[in-house]
Chain A
């Protein structure tokens, strides 16, 4: 066994030391593997970042009410009467006699994305101070909060970084309405940073919404209160509303965009097949070039298993090197990169790519699978090289 291990390690070392002879082909295999891993990791980091942005926004202690059957905030409408009724629902917290309820509006603005200079939808949320208080981690990073009753807005940090013209002090015209940006806020990197906020009453007036709203948020005792609230809604025909915790609402929206990860995996697998073809060619060439060496070692008494293991190790090593290179490239190019895409309410969600160690591990697994598959058949061929080939080896 010891002898077999020393044979295998000697053959592996020889293969690795002879790599410079096959520099370009080996490099091509490394790069192909790196590209596959980098692309896979880019998609996975994007999906992970998007999900984290949405999941981070939701609280278990806030219930969100939307019109029954509306899949997103933009499609929902609620009346003033419904807002009042929700305030009386069981489990909804009160401060004194005032229910902790935020009636909110959600309208769309046109913004110009800095990255592509194209128009994209931006959400303008109408809310009041109670609603602001329900957002975890809210802080004014620059400027100040909007003054109720005025055409002032504050914008999320994501909006300020990804869209043109949202700096503090700038005046923006949307349709007939002119708004002044008075502050930039943060909410810990979650989806609310992709929004602009203004006074709900002003939006009702400027956008002719009368006394209607689109969603209601309410502080609740715990997520367990949801069932009691549902019962309450079911018993009152005026309340044709859906309710769920904010955490569950955003988690569901995040899942809708899991296609990103699947799409990334699909693209990576297709590319991996291409890389595999190239890698197989590299490894078969490597075996062909080393025929004399392999046969000589066999003639000296080395086992065919050492020839097999040496070739397989070479393939795995090249693919793993590519995997590491791809992971490094993905980290340097994508980790923390800010981007925006269409979210669940047809508006842009700004999010950051998140490349974690478990994703890098997935990338390395992909690289090693490429190495294993591309090494297996050439390794088998190496182990079957007739010893007599040593006597035909020239030089």
Chain B
């Protein structure tokens, strides 16, 4: 039976070797994220928040400890298994959108579906639903270069949710946007969390962005300082 805990990080450590020097990012870090959480991770540069996000996304692996996702260990998976696991469970939203410039909005959103067994017609239906959800159904044929930053990030959100992943990981999702557009994007994330039950983990520098999350974790010197944030 699946637990209510989506992520369970147990005594995670992460160390890098640079020349003869060993740099410790985390030492015995514990973290639990429940299904339906919207967690913001904040911290000064170099505090390890991006490293943590990478480990949550199966992009980087810890030096020690265990990561359990929905009750199953994922920190010891091989490269191929991790790729499949990411495809099935994680949606990514990047600071600079990371859209494929040669593909239109619909084809960008379709990318995660190419990893499924859905046929072309089914994929198009999913893409249309996702774009409608982010308010860009009428921009399906537009190329990324023809859209504003906010619109591109919404396409990226549609790409992140199109395959209905359990978790959405956001890396500074509003870092490249103006205030108004940033608020629109954050509200959209909030809707995905509140109305669609998506678990969201967001790394951000921006305290105003963090206020949209239900829970903010402050990472400093490899340890969390946790406090509840008000929902705006």
Contact = CB atoms under 8 A, between A and B. Distances in A.
A14 B87 CA distance: 19
Q: Looking at chain B, what size class is its interface with the partner chain?
A: 20 to 34
Given A299-B57, A388-B60, A391-B94, A17 B83 contact: no
A2 interface: yes
Contacts of A18: 101-102
B64 to A, nearest CB: 19
A2 B117 contact: yes
A237 to B, nearest CB: 84
B50 interface: yes
Interface string A14-39: 10011001000000000000000000
Contacts of A304: 79, 83
Interface string B101-119: 1110000000110111100
A394 B94 CA distance: 10
Given A17-B102, A301-B88, A10 B80 contact: no
A3 B114 contact: yes
Nearest to B172: A391
B72 to A, nearest CB: 17
Contacts of A297: 111
Contacts of A10: 111, 114
A306 to B, nearest CB: 9
A391 B83 contact: no
Nearest to A387: B59
A256 interface: no
Contacts of B50: 391
A18 B103 CA distance: 9
Nearest to A293: B100
B83 A303 contact: yes
A293 B50 CA distance: 19
B96 interface: yes
Given A300-B87, A300-B92, A391 B171 contact: yes
B86 A301 contact: yes
Contact of A393 (B94, B112, B116): B94
A22 to B, nearest CB: 11
Contacts of B181: none
B106 to A, nearest CB: 13
Interface string A261-303: 0000000000000000000000000000000110011111111
A301 B96 contact: no
B84 interface: yes
Given A299-B59, A301-B83, A388 B103 contact: no
Contacts of B92: 296, 299-300, 390
A6 B80 CA distance: 16
A390 B117 contact: no
A162 interface: no
Contacts of B83: 298, 301-304
Contacts of B76: none
B80 to A, nearest CB: 7
A93 B105 CA distance: 84
Contact of A302 (B102, B115, B116): B115
A393 B103 contact: no
Interface in A296-329: 296-304
Interface of B: 50, 53-54, 57, 59-60, 79-80, 83-84, 86-88, 92, 94-98, 100-103, 111-112, 114-117, 159, 171
Pick the 6 closest A-B CB pairs, nearest first.
A301-B87, A17-B102, A296-B98, A387-B59, A18-B102, A301-B86
Given A3-B116, A296-B100, A394-B96, 14 more contacts: A6-B115, A17-B102, A293-B100, A297-B111, A300-B87, A300-B115, A301-B84, A301-B112, A301-B115, A303-B83, A388-B60, A390-B98, A391-B50, A395-B96
9 contacts: A2-B117, A299-B92, A300-B111, A300-B112, A300-B159, A302-B114, A303-B80, A304-B79, A390-B59
